[in-house]
Amino acid sequence: MADVVLKVQEIQCGYDGVPVIHDVSLEIGEGEIVAMVGANGAGKTTMMRTIAGLMNPYRGSISFEGRDISRMEAHDTIKLGISYVPEGRRLFPKLTIMENLELGAFISKDRKAIDERLERVFGLFPKLHDRRNQVAETLSGGEQQMVAIARGLMSNPRLLLLDELSLGLMPSLVEKVMEAVVAINRSGVTVLLVEQMVQEALEIAHRGYVIQTGRIVQQGTARELLNSPEVRKAYMGL
């Protein structure tokens, strides 16, 4: 594996003192797409929120590019280069695409840099450029997901955390969104993707982890997991 960008070591975290993640460890190498897959309630979003700093682990540690971020808050991890695209998109519905994207760049005051990032995300998603003055709530589900990803890129992250991109999208759109993730990754961004749509996620990932009730139960290359009888039976209905 290339240089380790994110290293999560035996973290425990949860809500109101009740752990829902139990001693989870994982590593993401520079340039990888890593998928964390698992069923409803397995703890995927909790893992993402903890890495992003929206909540802190009860114990264990998280480091990003060699720096301990276990106790850091989200407004600081974003400055270090971690961007979290939350489950359910969470756009500002009454604001335009352009306004939503500008808000994604709130940590930067450098107008020129922001314009360059806009140009880059519009390069990735030309359709968003055509509709840049349309308010978010009038966009289709697929378009809204593109805006959410594009907004996540506006902070110029080196690690992009993508939570359940496929939620509520029809299969043809899921495929489009996954293609966009591959393009983003090729442009130099390391990606952690969590998904209930196990096959779709593993098809674009390099490696993966299977999470079940807050524990990693399987890990390997994406191909190993796609070929695993346990994974196929439990998550692909095969």
Ligand X SMILES: Nc1ncnc2c1ncn2[C@@H]1O[C@H](COP(=O)(O)OP(=O)(O)OP(=O)(O)O)[C@@H](O)[C@H]1O
* Contact positions vs ligand X (CB under 6 A): 15, 20, 38, 40-46, 87, 164, 196
The footprint of Mg ion on residues 80-99 (CB under 5 A) is: 87
Angle between helices 141-153 and 171-186 (to 10 degrees): 20
Position among 9, 12, 25, 45 found at the interface with Mg ion (CB under 5 A): 45
CB of 124 to ligand X, least distance (A): 25
* Partners of 8 in beta bridges: 26, 62
Nearest to 74 by CA among 83, 65, 63: 83
Closer to ligand X by Cβ: residue 17 or 188: 17
Which does residue 218 bind out of Mg ion, ligand X, none, counting CB within 5 to 8 angstroms by kind? none
Which does residue 20 bind out of Mg ion, ligand X, none, counting CB within 5 to 8 angstroms by kind? ligand X
Which does residue 41 bind out of Mg ion, ligand X, none, counting CB within 5 to 8 angstroms by kind? ligand X
- Residue 196 near Mg ion by CB under 5 A: no
Query: What are phi and psi for residue 196, nearest 5 degrees?
Result: -85, -25
Closer to ligand X by Cβ: residue 19 or 81: 19
188: alpha, beta or left? (left if phi > 0; alpha if psi -120 to 50): left
Nearest-angstrom CA–CA distance, 21 and 13: 5
Which does residue 157 bind out of Mg ion, ligand X, none, counting CB within 5 to 8 angstroms by kind? none
CB of 214 to ligand X, least distance (A): 7
The sheet carrying 33-37 orders its strands as 82-85, 159-163, 190-195, 33-37, 207-212, 215-221
Closer to Mg ion by Cβ: residue 44 or 206: 44
The sheet carrying 18-29 orders its strands as 18-29, 4-15, 59-64, 67-68
Nearest-angstrom CA–CA distance, 177 and 159: 17
Closer to Mg ion by Cβ: residue 36 or 128: 36
CB of 157 to ligand X, least distance (A): 20
Which does residue 124 bind out of ligand X, Mg ion, none, counting CB within 5 to 8 angstroms by kind? none
Nearest-angstrom CA–CA distance, 162 and 39: 16
Which does residue 224 bind out of Mg ion, ligand X, none, counting CB within 5 to 8 angstroms by kind? none
Nearest to 184 by CA among 208, 162, 207: 162
Euclidean distance between the first and the last CA atom of the chain, given in angstroms as a whole number = 30
- Residue 56 near Mg ion by CB under 5 A: no
Closer to ligand X by Cβ: residue 58 or 98: 58
Closer to ligand X by Cβ: residue 105 or 193: 193
Contact residues for Mg ion (CB under 5 A)?
44-45, 87
